[in-house]
Structure 1
Amino acid sequence: MTARTARGVAAATLAAALITGTAACSHPAAAGADSAVVGIATEPESLSPLLGYGKDGNSKIFDGLLTHDADMRLKPALAEALPEVSADGLTYTYTLRRGVKFSDGAPFSAEDVAFTYRTILDAKTNNASKTELDAIAGVEARGGDTVVFTLKYPYAPFAERTVLPIAPEHIAGRQDVNSGDFTTRPVGTGPYLLTGWSKGEKLSFTANPGYWGGEPAVKKFTMAVIKDDDVRATRLRSGELDAAILPPNLARALGDQHGTGDKARRTYAAKTFDYRTVTLPTHHAVTGDVAVRQALDIAVDRGAMVDKLLDGAGKPAYGPVPTGSPWFAAGTERPYDLDRAKRILDDAGWKAGEDGIRVKDGVRASFPLWYTSGDKIRQDHALAFASDAKKAGIEVKAEAGTWEVIEPRMKTEAVLAGGGSPADPDFDQYQLLTSALGGDGFNNMARYANPAVDSALVDGRRSGDQAARRAAYDTVQRELVKNPGYVFLTHIDHVYVVDDRWEGLTTQVEPHDHGLGSGPWWNVESWKPKQK
């Protein structure tokens, strides 16, 4: 849940203007043989990397120094090789790829790299994710093709941070970083050029003929922004979309079958670190009570949620780290135990009233739980959580709203939120749990405060020793058992349905954000039309 990750907008979804070049509308035409129209649920607020866009890589308009392959291993992008790292872990040196140009024809250089990182770290820049670069003490361009980062401490996953897209100094450096044209009319080195952005509807792209990696075979690429899951499924079924992310039950009805015009479709599932969680605001008389938190944490039937809400496309979640990850702390699983949940509440003085809802010191065990309108998966999770909570004597009132409605209420009202990053445990956990970021936008939405967790998070990000880092993140996960500021429900597999007319489609292990940078189109620049 970093920066805007709670609403799924930090780095990953794009779409705009009609492919045909006519006036924008909400129903993009079906794509041609060298075009693709993809339906996603959210869009970014800005397309500037200086403000956080594409910070986890794979932005399509831009490139980072490094990128990920299909197995999420780092590989060179704008750098010609992986960095040279000093013995003390405090210096990272990158040699840049020669001959790369921005899409306006200007040459890319080390100065652009230094400019990008310095600008993000500038206090005047409105980038909610700048704490992710806290380890940087300085960045220096040496000549045109060498960049040297100096760190304050040996931050083990630093190379992962250099997938961040690079902005052109000659354009972005000449305008207001927070409000200039570059935020909506970006220029980068990536495989695609933005041709238009009709906010709330779509963004459109065309292949970059001068891309250093070779011009993509998919010449036109459109991301249609369709917030409602059912509407997205309907438009895929009608042939208006060539692909879409869908909830598992809707994907099952549409995938691996013939669609409009007898076009075959295929279903792609991606394993993820994407969790759904209920925030338990510290500043609320009910959700701030540790006994209530502990009770809710074991009163939820996570297994039933996976089976019934996700059709098995996921797994129970006990924290931000999935159970299959090497970073998961064994023994922190919380089995469903309604009887024990009731005992915890009884012992803490929460006694059942006449209507079955518990009361303590005149406070009724009741609170609202907000979820985003049109998101079927969040709605289903919210309703299932409310049903389970009621069995323990806690009233949860599920409410739907836009993020504009929800955000002002987050300090004292619970939210069905999401987050998750496979790159490194620091990437998600620090911004989710550190008390230093409580109430900072969508960081630490519950305003969770636990000194043991704060200390472990600092140890985890500042140590270069793998065993020490593992111990730190084990501590975080075990502290969440004692005092869960969030009730983690499920880790969700992302499911996509795509017309079966291209070759080269795969999926990666994905973060919470799923749009342009994730899904089978993570490598759309490498797709080739199927030979008939």
Structure 2
Amino acid sequence: MSKRNGLTRREFLRLSGTAVVASLVAACAPPATPEEKPAAPEVAEEAPEAKEEAPQYGGTLTVALHGEIDKLDPHQSVTIVGFQVQQNIVESLVTANAALDGVEPELATGWTVSEDGLTYTFQLRQGVKFHNGKEFKAEDVIFSFNRIMDPDFPAADRSDLEMVESIEAPDDYTVVFKLKYPFAAFLTNLESLWVLPKDAGVDFNQQLIGTGPFKFVEWISGDHITLERFDEYWEEGKPYLDKVIFRPIPESATKLVELKTGGLNFVGNVPYKDVAELEADPNFKVYRVLGVVRDHLGFNVTKPPFDNKLVRQAMGYLIDREAIAASIMEGYAKPAQIAIPESHWAFNPAIKDAYTFDLEKARQLLAEAGYADGFKATIKVSPTYPLEIKMAELIAEAAKEVGVEFEIQQLEWSTWIQQVVTEGDFEAEIVLISGGIDPDDFFYQWHHSGEIFNIWRFSTPELDALLEEGRKTIDQEKRKEIYYKIQEYLIDAAPMVHIVYRESIMASTADVKGFVMTGREDMTFKTVWIEQSA
């Protein structure tokens, strides 16, 4: 999912963990692309076992979520914790592949695309059952997508389908989507648009029904969500676990204590400071991956001095990315130059070292811009993301060397969203955002004119044209050329400069087997099993 997914618009909501963002952006209805989740990260699976082991059936996996889910209904939910629960209950036509650089069949067995890119025909998997016993058919796909597209329904991902003209079902196992215009990211958009049963007769916020490996049992708000094995799951032999219990535990220290004392056997969002200890203990496993969550320093290009490109470029040379990765991120990060990661097929290698730590170069650019004596400005951050505060402090120290004085202003997250995203009331900001599978997810909603998440207010006809061409060009090699140009354009224009890509880190007890880590904080447990004591 926007996966989701984030940050596409939905990922931004997920990582924020707050519904306030949804209320702020709902009226603007920006046409953000899906979430599909982080793209082509360096995928890290669990360390290989000493020998091939046959999965064992049974057991309960107790998982810590970093907060309470917002909604059970996946068509309305906008939080990462909601996604982590839902992805074990519901499924989509397609799912992300292991490398997170494309999609593969899930409830669809295959598809064809017309030469003009306007018609997508999906063949559906037969013999699949929903948790209520209903057979999965084309009518369920049409019901689910019409529900998302219904303007009177509060769907989180409606904009993911804005290019759809119609959906038809020639028979029970074929679905045909007709698009208004070619849209290269259409398949990856579908990856987080879950299929629910038609005529279920239930409130999906109370009783979520899907085709996934686990079925919903109960949600006791503030305490736990229980799922149990779906014995008629279509993927033969899976899942292995009897139950999965999700518990909302926002405090990192509490999660780790419970992991060590047996109250939990799986946790996400492991603090960097605790990783080495867990990795050294044979009673635990640590899962790490460098994904597409990245930090940046962004500028309001409508306000001086950041309306001057040379000033913005100078800021790129003030960031010691290596030092930030090594110290603030404790080695669990990698220097970043652009939104899209180096492992992605659309990454332009020519910009790999575009901005290095070079105070003399920064000083030279400031002089050319007419700021030889420096200037004063404010960087807005939020204590919701304390590492960004440390980054701002390190950048501010370096800036003093070239006469730039940064005041660091800390705002509560809802206030940060209001001032920076909604009102444009800022000079500079630092925050973390994410991407998706398709390159469109990394660029369009952040840099196209009129998009609400173009928070830097940077707008040119040239860039808009490239972004529009990129999302409507189907041929991947031609798209690569377009996205190479987009990256070169953004490196030069510098409406924001990137700092680091972060690692995502999870941990489990050593008896947990089969978990596959991705760069988008997935918690999919259909392949997971627990080694039973003899």
Give the TM-score taking structure 1 as reference length: 0.80
- Listed one character per residue, the Cα deviations across residues 201-237 of structure 1 (whole Å, up to 9, x for unaligned) are 6544333333333552222223333445455444434
- Cα shift at 1:322: 1.5
SS at match of 2:204: helix
**Counterpart pick for 2:360 among 333, 336, 339:** 339
Cα distance, 1:528–1:398 mapped onto 2, change above 3 Å? same
Cα distance, 1:279–1:505 mapped onto 2, change above 3 Å? same
Q: In structure 2, what is the equivalent of residue 18 of structure 1?
A: none
Structure 2 Cα separation of the partners of residues 242 and 132 of structure 1: 35
Q: In structure 2, what is the equivalent of residue 138 of structure 1?
A: 166
Structure 2 Cα separation of the partners of residues 430 and 471 of structure 1: 16
Q: In structure 2, what is the equivalent of residue 528 of structure 1?
A: 529
Q: In structure 1, what is the equivalent of residue 329 of structure 2?
A: 310
Q: In structure 2, what is the equivalent of residue 507 of structure 1?
A: 517
Q: Give, as a single letter, the amino acid of the residue that structure 2 aligns with 1:371.
A: S
Cα distance, 1:235–1:502 mapped onto 2, change above 3 Å? closer
- Cα shift at 1:460: 0.7
Cα distance, 1:496–1:249 mapped onto 2, change above 3 Å? same
Query: Is contact 1:236–1:242 with CA below 8 Å preserved after alignment?
Result: yes
Structure 2 Cα separation of the partners of residues 326 and 309 of structure 1: 29
Q: In structure 1, what is the equivalent of residue 290 of structure 2?
A: 271
Query: Is contact 1:37–1:224 with CA below 8 Å preserved after alignment?
Result: yes
Structure 1 Cα separation of the partners of residues 309 and 84 of structure 2: 34
1:2 is aligned to 2:8: yes
1:491 is aligned to 2:501: yes
1:453 is aligned to 2:492: no
**Counterpart pick for 2:432 among 403, 418, 421:** 418
The equivalences for 1:156-235 within 5 A come to 156-163=184-191, 164-171=193-200, 181-183=203-205, 185-197=207-219, 202-213=224-235, 216-235=239-258
- Cα shift at 1:486: 1.9
- Listed one character per residue, the Cα deviations across residues 466-494 of structure 1 (whole Å, up to 9, x for unaligned) are 23211221122112122222221111121
1:49 is aligned to 2:49: no
- Cα shift at 1:189: 1.7
SS at match of 1:346: helix
Cα distance, 1:33–1:188 mapped onto 2, change above 3 Å? closer
- Listed one character per residue, the Cα deviations across residues 278-315 of structure 1 (whole Å, up to 9, x for unaligned) are 33234544544434322212211111111222333332
Q: Give, as a single letter, the amino acid of the residue that structure 2 aligns with 1:182.
A: F
Structure 2 Cα separation of the partners of residues 57 and 476 of structure 1: 36
Structure 1 Cα separation of the partners of residues 372 and 446 of structure 2: 32
The equivalences for 1:234-273 within 5 A come to 234-244=257-267, 245-258=269-282, 264-273=283-292
Q: In structure 1, what is the equivalent of residue 382 of structure 2?
A: 371
Cα distance, 1:48–1:342 mapped onto 2, change above 3 Å? farther
Cα distance, 1:284–1:234 mapped onto 2, change above 3 Å? farther
Q: Give, as a single letter, the amino acid of the residue that structure 1 aligns with 2:8.
A: T
Query: Is contact 1:272–1:422 with CA below 8 Å preserved after alignment?
Result: no
Structure 2 Cα separation of the partners of residues 110 and 90 of structure 1: 20
What is the percentage of aligned positions where both structures have the same residue?
A: 26
Return 5+ residue gaps in structure 2 as ranges: 1-6, 18-34, 38-56
Structure 2 Cα separation of the partners of residues 238 and 401 of structure 1: 36
Structure 2 Cα separation of the partners of residues 502 and 226 of structure 1: 20
- Listed one character per residue, the Cα deviations across residues 212-270 of structure 1 (whole Å, up to 9, x for unaligned) are 33552222223333445455444434443322231333211222405xxxxx1011211
Structure 2 Cα separation of the partners of residues 370 and 483 of structure 1: 23
Q: In structure 2, what is the equivalent of residue 28 of structure 1?
A: none
Structure 2 Cα separation of the partners of residues 476 and 57 of structure 1: 36
Which 10-residue stretch deviates more, 48-57 or 390-399?
A: 48-57
Q: Give, as a single letter, the amino acid of the residue that structure 1 aligns with 2:300.
A: P
Q: Give, as a single letter, the amino acid of the residue that structure 2 aligns with 1:469.
A: R
Q: Give, as a single letter, the amino acid of the residue that structure 2 aligns with 1:367.
A: T
Cα distance, 1:455–1:12 mapped onto 2, change above 3 Å? closer
- Cα shift at 1:320: 0.8
Structure 1 Cα separation of the partners of residues 238 and 336 of structure 2: 41
Q: In structure 2, what is the equivalent of residue 297 of structure 1?
A: 316
Structure 1 Cα separation of the partners of residues 189 and 432 of structure 2: 21
Which 10-residue stretch deviates more, 318-327 or 381-390?
A: 381-390
Q: Give, as a single letter, the amino acid of the residue that structure 1 aligns with 2:425.
A: T
Cα distance, 1:345–1:273 mapped onto 2, change above 3 Å? same
Query: Is contact 1:256–1:266 with CA below 8 Å preserved after alignment?
Result: no
Return 5+ residue gaps in structure 1 as ranges: 14-31, 176-180, 259-263, 353-357, 360-364
SS at match of 2:350: coil
Which 10-residue stretch deviates more, 317-326 or 46-55?
A: 46-55
Structure 1 Cα separation of the partners of residues 206 and 431 of structure 2: 27
Structure 1 Cα separation of the partners of residues 86 and 345 of structure 2: 24
SS at match of 1:75: strand
- Cα shift at 1:408: 0.9
SS at match of 1:295: helix
Cα distance, 1:119–1:6 mapped onto 2, change above 3 Å? same
Structure 1 Cα separation of the partners of residues 132 and 336 of structure 2: 46
Q: In structure 1, what is the equivalent of residue 98 of structure 2?
A: 70
SS at match of 2:9: coil
Q: Give, as a single letter, the amino acid of the residue that structure 1 aligns with 2:414.
A: E
* Alignment RMSD: 3.1
SS at match of 1:436: coil
1:432 is aligned to 2:446: yes
Q: Give, as a single letter, the amino acid of the residue that structure 2 aligns with 1:46.
A: K
Structure 2 Cα separation of the partners of residues 49 and 150 of structure 1: 24
Cα distance, 1:390–1:195 mapped onto 2, change above 3 Å? farther
Structure 2 Cα separation of the partners of residues 429 and 57 of structure 1: 28
- Cα shift at 1:56: 11
SS at match of 2:364: helix
Query: Is contact 2:513–2:528 with CA below 8 Å preserved after alignment?
Result: yes
SS at match of 2:349: coil
Cα distance, 1:41–1:55 mapped onto 2, change above 3 Å? closer
- Listed one character per residue, the Cα deviations across residues 16-74 of structure 1 (whole Å, up to 9, x for unaligned) are xxxxxxxxxxxxxxxx9712223343555333333365889981121001223434453
Query: Is contact 1:113–1:166 with CA below 8 Å preserved after alignment?
Result: yes
Structure 2 Cα separation of the partners of residues 501 and 326 of structure 1: 36
